Amino acid sequence: MKLADEFELRNNREVTLNVRPIEIGLYHDYVFEGPCRFGRGDELTREHDMMVIEMKSKNDEKMLHDLFDGIPGVNVMDQIVIKRDETFPLNDAMLEEMATDRDDVDLYVFNFTVFGADLAIAFSQKYGKPSMILPTPNNDAHMSAAYRARGLEMHSPATLEEAKKTLVALRARKVMANTRALVVVRNNSVHPVTNYDSFLDHFEVTKKLGTSFTYYNLHEFLDQLHNVAPDTNPTLPGRVADNINDEDEKVVGAMVDEFMTGATVCDMDRDKIVPSMRAHYLVNKLLKKLDCNAFAAPCPDMCATRRLNHEQTTLCLNHTLNNENGVCSACEQDVSALLSMVALSAVSQSAPYMGNTVPVKLDADDELRIKTRIMFRPYSCDEETPRLEEQHADAIMSIYHAVPNRQFKGYDAEQAPYDVRPFAMDGRWGATVRYDFKRDIGEPITLAKFDPTCSKLLVARGTIVGGIGALDENCSEGVFFSVSDGRAFREATMWTGNHTALVYGDWFDEMVLFAESVGLEPLAVG
């Protein structure tokens, strides 16, 4: 059900970080020895120097390909080799050769034995591109200090493994800068009624992360769900809009059939699923038209209009399907959660999840309970949740929203089993995917959330310890997880807010590096 592919959206899964290796080699025109020149016999000749440059450049290029080629979304470009003599020439011709195809390059990796720093610095000062030097006996501290003193971006990983993680983080930074979010709004483009802990200033977000935003009127959006003449919408009288049409209905119907057939249990009538799938189709239509690749809409604000009840739809299914197609989509118009999902999916190459995040109290016999939450039915808590032995009471958290997906193990992984259940309890409309998180007990997860000022980023490791709500309606779907320090995690959420995003796998280091790469303070709970 790859609707995103059908519309050929700008998909962040396709973003590539282009890495250009540059080798700087030194040769000597004269045979001599001195404080920085020593050897025996032919080792002091120009020919020997040229041989060393050739051998070293080939070895370094192979090493970079061996190191980086397996990283999804990373492309190691052809190496450029610069040779100069012992007078240390530095001229525009050299800089221009190094700058070949510079508009396509995201990161330069410099390799040299000695006497290359001046050329690398001059190049970076002229073209302003990020640079990296791999760990060496003496050059990494030399280069890093020189770059940082000049306000230039230099990445100096301590190990080759850290270098790989740095590239993953830098690709996530590029993904973020290539994200344009379509945000459906009712009254306020920044703060829906339930999310005053989301970003305060989208202009500041664009300045720091490069993400841009397109806002869309809620009523114009909902009117276009109707298969009517596209110039008859009451919010756009006479203007031809993008209403669902007969051809669209055929695709929507086929998608509903595939969705129902693939479910382990489908606890909804077909005609009750169609409106939610139709909303998903319209979202993708608009994403394509407006050249956007992320989405958020204000659930409570929309609910208050009564139009969702009238249309018999929610956007839960859209969020699920878009997330597993690589187009991040968030509930409650929480843009800070949305971009947290973008970053997590970029480093993990897997579909994210987001929702309300709260500490969980254990009862006397160490079983999970959230009986204070009205939306959780008692049988859901009592019968579905497992016993937790030897868990610290302040280290168990939960995230719940009705937007799990079937690609937690990776975009290209086999689709996980799922059920289909309604969001609405009484009318049984609003299709949702129900996923049993208990099947993943023991799985590591990584969590993240930007703070409202876009100056901090919560990054945490967790482990799944339970699930809830797979048999329920509405937002009762949820996951229980443990963290290393419950108090520290809770305190971090006091800065970042309610909704937290997660992906499967341990991507903690990459997310901390990402935060640092965009100048944010990591609130790290490892």
- Among residues 390, 413, 419, 391, the alpha carbon closest in space to that of 480 is found at 391
User: Do residues 220 and 132 both lie within one domain?
Assistant: no
Last residue of a domain, one of 121, 146, 174: 174
If one counts the domains in the chain, the total is 2
Is 61 part of a structural domain of the chain? yes
Query: 161 to each of 66, 156, 370, how far by Cα in Å?
Result: 12, 12, 41
Last residue of a domain, one of 134, 155, 174: 174
CATH of the domain at 31: 3.40.50
- Among residues 60, 62, 70, 43, the alpha carbon closest in space to that of 139 is found at 60
Query: 322 to each of 5, 273, 325, 480, how far by Cα in Å?
Result: 11, 16, 5, 24
Q: pLDDT: is 362 or 151 the higher one?
A: 151
User: Do residues 413 and 342 both lie within one domain?
Assistant: yes
The DSSP bridge partners found for residue 398 are 358, 480
User: In the numeric block, which tokens belong to residue 34?
Assistant: 């001195």
In this predicted structure, the answer to whether residue 327 has a pLDDT above a threshold of 60 is yes
Residue 421 backbone zone (phi > 0: left; psi -120 to 50: alpha; other: beta): beta
CA terminus-to-terminus distance, the chain: 36
Percent of the chain with pLDDT over 90: 79
User: Do residues 185 and 161 both lie within one domain?
Assistant: no
Percent of the chain with pLDDT over 70: 92
Rounded Cα–Cα distance for residues 262 and 33 (Å): 75
Q: How many CA atoms lie within 13 A of 129 on its CB side?
A: 26
The confidence score (pLDDT) of residue 141 equals 86
Number of H helices, E strands in the chain: 17, 20
Rounded Cα–Cα distance for residues 382 and 376 (Å): 10
Lowest mean pLDDT among 104-113, 211-220, 359-368: 359-368
pLDDT tens figures, 256-304: 999 999 999 999 999 999 999 999 999 999 999 999 999 999 999 999 9
Rounded Cα–Cα distance for residues 180 and 199 (Å): 15
Rounded Cα–Cα distance for residues 290 and 181 (Å): 10
Which residue range is the domain that position 79 belongs to? 12-174
The confidence score (pLDDT) of residue 375 equals 44
- Sorting pLDDT into bands at 50, 70 and 90, what band is 10? confident
Rounded Cα–Cα distance for residues 287 and 411 (Å): 20
Rounded Cα–Cα distance for residues 383 and 150 (Å): 61
Is 329 part of a structural domain of the chain? yes
- Sorting pLDDT into bands at 50, 70 and 90, what band is 374? very low
- Sorting pLDDT into bands at 50, 70 and 90, what band is 192? confident
- Sorting pLDDT into bands at 50, 70 and 90, what band is 22? very high
- Among residues 21, 23, 22, 30, the alpha carbon closest in space to that of 85 is found at 30
Rounded Cα–Cα distance for residues 479 and 141 (Å): 44
- Among residues 199, 216, 206, the alpha carbon closest in space to that of 176 is found at 206
Residue 310 backbone zone (phi > 0: left; psi -120 to 50: alpha; other: beta): alpha
Rounded Cα–Cα distance for residues 367 and 365 (Å): 6
State which amino acid sits at residue 449: K
Is 94 part of a structural domain of the chain? yes
User: Do residues 90 and 195 both lie within one domain?
Assistant: no
Lowest mean pLDDT among 4-8, 270-274, 339-343: 4-8
pLDDT tens figures, 158-177: 999 999 999 999 999 999 99
Last residue of a domain, one of 121, 156, 174: 174
User: Are β-strands 353-359 and 499-504 bridged in parallel, bridged antiparallel, or unpaired?
Assistant: antiparallel
Is 205 part of a structural domain of the chain? yes
DSSP state of 343: H
Is 6 part of a structural domain of the chain? no
The DSSP bridge partners found for residue 422 are 431
User: Do residues 326 and 408 both lie within one domain?
Assistant: yes
User: Do residues 226 and 161 both lie within one domain?
Assistant: no
User: Do residues 234 and 92 both lie within one domain?
Assistant: no
User: Do residues 358 and 447 both lie within one domain?
Assistant: yes
User: Do residues 154 and 249 both lie within one domain?
Assistant: no
Read off the pTM.
0.93
Rounded Cα–Cα distance for residues 412 and 394 (Å): 36
User: Do residues 148 and 188 both lie within one domain?
Assistant: no
